[in-house]
Amino acid sequence: MRQKLIVGNWKMNGSLAANASLLSAIERGLSAPRCQVAVCVPAPYLAQCQQLLGNGVVAWGAQDVSAQAEGAYTGEVAAGMLQDFACRYVIVGHSERRTYHGESSDLVAKKAVQALASGLVPIVCVGETLAQREAGQTEQVVGEQLQALLAALAKDEISNLVIAYEPVWAIGTGRTATPEMAQQVHAFLRAQLAAANSEAAQQVAILYGGSMKPDNAQQLLAQADIDGGLIGGAALKAQDFLAIIAAAETN
């Protein structure tokens, strides 16, 4: 049985002072969570996470990683550098990076390869736009995004992935996929994983992301193939983040 995983994506939010108060409120609200919890923070705050969360129950990670191991790539952060700060996770291929930074599925796959090579767990995001959903292309789009990733990995690496299904039209919009809509895509993604490695497919956590909030988390997380959440806005409020974790603990 897969344990649920709740990951906060802080995006480009935070400050030393605000992070300290948010992290301490999250830690105060969690003693022995019955699910995995992590926060993915802006890279400059990884040292702060390592210091404040070091021996606790909340893991931390970054929101992007370079597709290169090292060298003349100004502004990039290598997977080995994230490992230096004891990151467990790194988000790759978030739709905001695919859209605003033109990241292709092949580049996202290379980033995932770098993350895995440094012992990090890549949280690989896939998702369709509203126009693609309305054109009936959801499975084709997320299928192609996933296949580009699987093509870059060895079969035995698949179990080390986390996948996040994030419909682009639901991110930061307050619109959420219904539990049934999300479950359908999650089941499709798991079947694609199973075609590549059936044993690994049962182990891979497939998270839902897109306006997950305390009032819809329970129903989403009750779906058979929804193994957790990637949480944006609600991860910036300790009370909301804790309520989503509580919903994950009961599923």
Residues classed as catalytic: 94, 166
From the CB of 140, what's the least distance to ligand PEP, in Å? Answer: 22
Residue whose CB is less far from ligand PEP, 115 or 200: 115
- Our CA angle for 212, 96, 102, nearest 5°, is 155
Site membership for ligand PEP, residue 82 (CB under 6 A): no
User: Given candidates 6, 9, 30, 109, which one binds ligand PEP under the rule CB under 6 A?
Assistant: 9
Stretch that binds ligand PEP, among 23-31, 60-68, 177-185, 226-234 (CB under 6 A): 226-234
Question: How many CB atoms lie under 10 A from the CB of residue 67?
Answer: 20
Residue whose CB is less far from ligand PEP, 181 or 191: 181
d(Cα 1, Cα 231) in Å, to the nearest integer?
22
Closest residue to ligand PEP: CB criterion: 232
d(Cα 7, Cα 40) in Å, to the nearest integer?
7
Q: Give the residue carrying structure tokens 């895509």.
A: 185
> Which are the contacts of 66, defined by CB distance < 8 A and separation ≥ 6?
73, 76, 77, 78, 79, 111, 114
Site membership for ligand PEP, residue 163 (CB under 6 A): no
Residues at the contact surface with ligand PEP, assessed by CB under 6 A:
9, 11, 166, 171-172, 209-212, 230-234
